[in-house]
Amino acid sequence: MANKATSNYRIIVLISGNGTNLQALINDAPKSGFTIDLVISNKADAYGLKRAKKHQIPCKILESQLFNSQEDFDHALTVILDEKNPQLIVLAGFMRILGKKFVRHFHGRIVNIHPSLLPKYPGINTYQRALDAEDRTHGATVHFVTEELDGGPIIAQQSVEISPYETTETLAEKTLKIEHALYPEVVNLFASGRLKMTDGKVMLDKEIVSPKKGRFD
Please select the residue that binds ligand GRF; options are 40, 179, 182, 211, rule is CB under 6 A: 179
User: Would you give the binding string for ligand GRF spanning residues 121-150, x where CB under 6 A is met?
Assistant: -------------------x----------
CA distances from residue 145 to 41, 91, 188 in whole angstroms, order as listed: 18, 9, 18
Q: How far is the CB of 206 from ligand GRF (least distance, A)?
A: 29
When asked if residue 36 is in the footprint of ligand GRF (CB under 6 A), the reply is no
Catalytic residue from among 107, 114, 143, 180: 114
Which ranges in 29-92 belong to alpha helices (H)?
47-54, 70-84
When asked if residue 7 is in the footprint of ligand GRF (CB under 6 A), the reply is no
93/184 with CB nearer ligand GRF = 93
| φ and ψ at residue 10, rounded to 5 degrees | -105, 130
Please select the residue that binds ligand GRF; options are 43, 51, 114, 174, rule is CB under 6 A: 114
When asked if residue 92 is in the footprint of ligand GRF (CB under 6 A), the reply is yes
Report which secondary-structure segment, H or E, holds 161: strand 154-161
Q: Name the segment binding ligand GRF (CB under 6 A); options: 15-23, 144-152, 157-165, 188-196.
A: 15-23
Report which secondary-structure segment, H or E, holds 11: strand 10-15
CA angle at residue 21 from 18 to 26, to 5 degrees?
A: 105
When asked if residue 19 is in the footprint of ligand GRF (CB under 6 A), the reply is yes
Q: Is 114 a catalytic residue?
A: yes
**Which of 24, 9, 3, 21 is CA-nearest to residue 194?**
9
Handedness of CA 60, 16, 189, 101 (dihedral sign): negative
Q: Which residues bind ligand GRF (CB under 6 A)?
A: 17-21, 92-93, 113-115, 140, 176, 179
Q: Which residues are catalytic?
A: 114
